[in-house]
Amino acid sequence: MLTHAQIWNALDRLAARSGLSASGLAKKAGLDPTTFNKSKRITPDGRARWPSTESVAKSLAATATPMEIFVQLIDGTRAPPKRSVPLIGLAQAGRAGFFDDAGFPVGHGWDEVAFPAVTDEHAYALEISGKSMEPAYRDDAVIVVSPAASIRRGDRVVVKTKDGEVMVKELKRRSSKSIELRSLNPEFADRTLPVRDVQWMHRVLWASQ
């Protein structure tokens, strides 16, 4: 059974591993700076108070922390340290020089973003621009992509065609001859691509929201 102290301690650990104070974590998450103060953890009549689900969710999103890492922080076990993965804008991804033939990030022009629990050494991040992927991904959302991750029907994927087009879709079906993709925004048409026209397809592991 979870206790109030476990959840609050996990939030304190989350702040510390991100180099923040409790109030700094609250501000980074877009909350009132006093949200996680010690005084807010007890009601006026002396009872223990739970943090809101919304405040926890916003803190995880602001620090790019998956739920499984937060569970480790609740248990008090050591969470894997963050490491940097290369980051570019989705609009840049179709240009030459950013990926090799296998879809691994190469070359110059990449920024970096810290992300925990990434084991794929070739993982990379893309920053979404525009509204073409709403409501799944908002403008300025960051997605982390793994070339090594296995892909199943229903997974969200980044696909690059041999003519340089890069798109983020949901895998609807794949056969030996074609790849059927469902658009994340219902206002945009689904796509069916011949396998011979696809240079690579990688799975989206995580997205900031």
pLDDT (0 to 100) of residue 67 = 84
Residues 47 and 134 in one domain: no
Residues 143 and 192 in one domain: yes
Which residue range is the domain that position 136 belongs to?
Answer: 82-207
Distance in angstroms (rounded) separating the CA atoms of residues 112 and 94? 18
Residue 169, strand partner residues: 157
Residues 67 and 97 in one domain: no
70: CATH: 1.10.260.40
Listing DSSP states for 13-50 in one string gives HHHHHTT--HHHHHHHTTS-TTTT-GGGGB-TTS-B-P
Residues 38 and 110 in one domain: no
Of the residues 75, 108, 136, the one at which a domain ends = 75
Low-confidence ranges of the chain (pLDDT < 70): 77-83, 115-118, 209
Of the residues 53, 75, 97, the one at which a domain ends = 75
Domain count, the chain: 2
Of the residues 18, 49, 75, the one at which a domain ends = 75
Closest CA to 143 of 66, 98, 87: 87
Distance in angstroms (rounded) separating the CA atoms of residues 137 and 154? 16
Q: What tens digit of pLDDT does each residue of 53-102 get?
A: 999 999 988 887 888 788 888 887 655 556 678 898 888 888 888 888 88
pLDDT (0 to 100) of residue 58 = 92
Indicate whether this model's pTM tops 0.75: no
pLDDT (0 to 100) of residue 82 = 63
Closest CA to 61 of 95, 14, 23: 14
Residues 198 and 96 in one domain: yes
pLDDT (0 to 100) of residue 61 = 87
pLDDT (0 to 100) of residue 94 = 83
Residues 42 and 94 in one domain: no
